[in-house]
A and B are shown apart, each in its own frame.
Chain A
Amino acid sequence: MIQIPGNDIFIALATWTREIMLSIGLDPAFIEIVMAFIRALLLGTMALLVFMLITWLERKVVARIQDRIGPNLAGPWGLLQPIADGIKAITKEDTTPNGADVTIFNASPIVAGVAALLVYAVIPFGPNPGGECAGAPCGPMAGTEMSIGLFYILAVGAVSLIAVLMAGWSSNNKYALLGSFRAVAELLSYEVPQVLSIAAMVMIAGTMSMTQIVEAQTVPFIFPLFITALVFFISGIAESGRSPFDLVEAESEIVAGYHIEYSGMKFSLFFLGEFVHAFAVCAVVTTVFLNGWQGPVLPPWIWFFIKSFGVFFIMMWIKFTMPRFRIDQLMAFNWKFLVPVSLLNLLVLAVGDTVLKTVGITREASPWVWGMILFAANLVLLFAALWALGRSARKSRLIKRPIVARTDDVKPAPSPVAASN
C-alpha cells in the first residue's frame, strides 16, 4: 500500500501513543479502550469545529448569494464570528416555561445533539494501511469499522426523532407540540426514500461497511447510482430540516416549531444538531458516491473534507435559492414522487445489473463501461419520471377551479319606487 504522507501523521501519532502506554505497562485491552476514548474525543471535537466553520461559511455564502458581504467585523473575514455567537449563547438567560417537564426539557437538546454526532463514528477518513501499529492491527482511519455501517446510520437517524418528540411535548406549549408532530411526520416521511436508496446502494456495492464501499469504488458510484444519489441527497436535506424543507422550524410560520421555548445554549444545541446532521449527510454522500477519501496527491482526509464541503456548498446553494415548500407540497413530493421513483430505481438497477452480469460486464471486470451503461439507464428513468411529473403538473394547472360564490353577496336593496307601489 502506498504510504501517503498525510496518513502517516495520524498513524504515527496513534502508534506513538500506544507505545507510551505499553511502556507504562498497561494491559493491551485497556489500551484499546483508551484509544477508543481518544478517537471519540477527536471525532467529537472535529464535529464541533466543523460546526463552527459551517456557521461562518453559511453566513458568508448566503451573503454573497444575496449580493452583500456578510459578517466581517469579528476577526479577519469574520472568522471569529462563531466564537462571538457561542459566547452570546452561553451568556443568555435560560428560561424554563411554566409547567414544563424539567428532566425531559433539559435532556432533549443533548439527545438531539448526540444523535447527530453518532453518524461520524463510521465514516472513513482514510484508508486502512494494513500491518501492525505497536502490537495491534491497524484499522481504517475511522471511528470504528462496522460491518453494517450504512444500516447503523439509519438507526441513528431514528434516535433523533425521539428527541424532537421529547422537545415538543415537554415544553407545555401547544405550538411546540403541533410543531413537533409536523416535524416528526415530515422526518418519518422523508426517511422512506432514504432507506430505499440505501437498499439500492447496498445492492450495487455488495457490502454495508463504509470502509469497504470506498474501496469498492473504482468508478465513483455517482454514475451507476445517479438517481439514488439525487434521492438520498434530497431526502438528506429534508431530514436535517434545512430549507427548502424547513417548514417545521420556519421562523415566520409556527414560530420556530418545537423549539419555541428553548433559549440560549439549549437552542444552540438544537441548531448544532441540525448543522452537524447536514454535514453528516454530505459526508455519507461523499463516502458512498464520490469515492470517499480517494484522490491523487493530497492526504486522504484532506480530499475527504474538500469533497464534503463541495457537497455542502451545493446544499447551501439549494437552500438560499429556493423558496420554502408548504407542508402539503412537501408530503406530496415525497409520497407521490420520491418514493415511487426510488422503488422503480431499485427495480431498474436490479434488472439492469443482472442483464449486464449475464452479458459479462460487471463492476470488477470493466468498471467504467458498467458504470456508464447504468448511468444511461438512470438518465432514462430520470427523464421518464420528470416527464410524468410535468404531465401531472400540467394537468393540475389546467383543472378549472370552480369560482366559489361569495357568501356575503348583498341583495340589492328594493328600490323606493317599487316598494311604494
Chain B
Amino acid sequence: MDGWAFVGIFVVVGAVLLSVPLILSALLAPRKPNPIKSETYECGMETYGDTRVQFKAQYYVYALMFAIFDIETIFLLPWALAYKDFATIFPLIEMIVFVLILVGGLAYAWRKGALEWL
C-alpha cells in the first residue's frame, strides 16, 4: 500500500509513545483542584461576558485563499512530474496560462485590499 501501512503503524506507535509521559504525569503529579485554580485565565482578573469573540471575516478570506492556491498546486504537481518528458513547448505554455490566471486572482485580491489584516 505504498507506505501508508507504515504510516498507520507509526500513528499508533507515536500516540502510545507520547501517552507514556502523560500517564506518568497522571500517576505522579499532585492533584489538588480548587475553584480558584480551575477558573478561566484572564490575566488575573475575573472573566466577564461570555466567551463569545468577535470573529473577523478576514480569517475566512485567508483560509479561502489558501484553499484556492492549494488546489492550484495539486493541479501543478502531476504536471511537474511529467515535466521532464515534455517534447514540445505547448505544455509549458499551458501551465503558464494556468498560473497567470491565478496570479491575476492574487493581484485582484491585493488591489481590493483583501490581503490587509484589518
- The chain A residues found within 8 Å of chain B, CB to CB, are 33, 36-37, 39-41, 43-45, 48, 86, 89-99, 109-110, 113-114, 117-118, 121-122, 143-148, 151-152, 172-175, 177-178, 181, 184-185, 188-189, 191-192, 195-196, 198-200, 202-203, 206-208, 255, 260-261, 264-266, 268-269, 272, 327-328, 331-332, 335-336, 339-340, 343, 346-347, 350-351, 353-354
- The residues in B between 14 and 71 inclusive whose CB is less than 8 angstroms from any CB of A are 14-15, 17-19, 21-22, 24-26, 28-33, 37-43, 47, 51-53, 55, 58-59, 62-63, 65-66, 69-70
Chain A residues with Cβ below 8 Å from B84 are 206
Whether B10 pairs with A121 at a CB distance below 8 angstroms is: yes
Question: CA–CA, A260 to B28, complex, Å?
Answer: 22
Chain B residues with Cβ below 8 Å from A89 are 21, 25
Chain A residues with Cβ below 8 Å from B96 are 347, 350-351
Interface residue B108 (Cβ < 8 Å from any Cβ of A) = no
Question: CA–CA, A143 to B17, complex, Å?
Answer: 16
Please give the distance in Å from A187's CB to the nearest CB on chain B.
Answer: 9
- The chain B residues found within 8 Å of chain A, CB to CB, are 2-7, 9-15, 17-19, 21-22, 24-26, 28-33, 37-43, 47, 51-53, 55, 58-59, 62-63, 65-66, 69-70, 73, 76-77, 80-81, 83-84, 86, 89, 92, 95-96, 99, 102-103, 106, 109-110, 115-117
Whether A110 pairs with B3 at a CB distance below 8 angstroms is: no
Chain B residues with Cβ below 8 Å from A200 are 80
Whether A265 pairs with B7 at a CB distance below 8 angstroms is: no
Contact of A174 among B14, B28, B53, B86 (CB under 8 A): B53
Question: CA–CA, A130 to B55, complex, Å?
Answer: 56
Chain A residues with Cβ below 8 Å from B86 are 354
Can you give 13 contacting A-B residue pairs, CB < 8 Å?
A: A43-B10, A93-B32, A110-B22, A174-B53, A177-B51, A195-B70, A331-B62, A332-B115, A335-B65, A335-B106, A347-B96, A350-B83, A354-B89
Question: CA–CA, A143 to B33, complex, Å?
Answer: 43
Dominant secondary structure of chain B at its interface with chain A: helix
Contact of A332 among B10, B18, B39, B117 (CB under 8 A): B117
Contact of A144 among B6, B62, B73 (CB under 8 A): B6
Please give the distance in Å from A360's CB to the nearest CB on chain B.
Answer: 15
Question: CA–CA, A350 to B89, complex, Å?
Answer: 11
Q: B18, B76, B110 — which one has the most chain A CB atoms within 10 A of its CB?
A: B18
Chain B residues with Cβ below 8 Å from A98 are 38-40
Please give the distance in Å from B100's CB to the nearest CB on chain A.
Answer: 8
Chain B residues with Cβ below 8 Å from A151 are 77
Chain B residues with Cβ below 8 Å from A95 are 33, 37-38
Whether B6 pairs with A347 at a CB distance below 8 angstroms is: no
Chain A residues with Cβ below 8 Å from B81 are 202, 206-208
Please give the distance in Å from A209's CB to the nearest CB on chain B.
Answer: 10
Asked whether A90 and B29 contact (CB < 8 A) given A122-B3, A206-B84, the answer is: yes
Please give the distance in Å from B109's CB to the nearest CB on chain A.
Answer: 8
Chain B residues with Cβ below 8 Å from A37 are 9, 13
Contact of B18 among A33, A110, A173 (CB under 8 A): A110
Question: CA–CA, A172 to B11, complex, Å?
Answer: 28
Chain B residues with Cβ below 8 Å from A328 are 116-117
- The chain A residue sitting closest to B13, CB to CB, is A40
Asked whether A39 and B14 contact (CB < 8 A) given A195-B73, A265-B21, A328-B116, the answer is: no
Please give the distance in Å from B102's CB to the nearest CB on chain A.
Answer: 8
Please give the distance in Å from B79's CB to the nearest CB on chain A.
Answer: 8
Contact of B2 among A33, A147, A178, A340 (CB under 8 A): A147
Chain B residues with Cβ below 8 Å from A48 are 17
Asked whether A331 and B6 contact (CB < 8 A) given A260-B41, A268-B21, A340-B106, the answer is: no
Question: CA–CA, A264 to B29, complex, Å?
Answer: 9
Please give the distance in Å from B23's CB to the nearest CB on chain A.
Answer: 9
Question: CA–CA, A319 to B23, complex, Å?
Answer: 33
Contact of A93 among B13, B15, B30, B55 (CB under 8 A): B30
Question: CA–CA, A147 to B65, complex, Å?
Answer: 28
Whether A343 pairs with B30 at a CB distance below 8 angstroms is: no
Question: CA–CA, A200 to B79, complex, Å?
Answer: 11
Asked whether A181 and B55 contact (CB < 8 A) given A37-B9, A44-B13, A118-B14, the answer is: yes
Chain B residues with Cβ below 8 Å from A184 are 59, 63
Q: B13, B19, B29, B65 — which one has the most chain A CB atoms within 10 A of its CB?
A: B13
Whether A121 pairs with B28 at a CB distance below 8 angstroms is: no
Question: CA–CA, A264 to B32, complex, Å?
Answer: 14
Question: CA–CA, A265 to B18, complex, Å?
Answer: 10
- The chain A residue sitting closest to B79, CB to CB, is A203
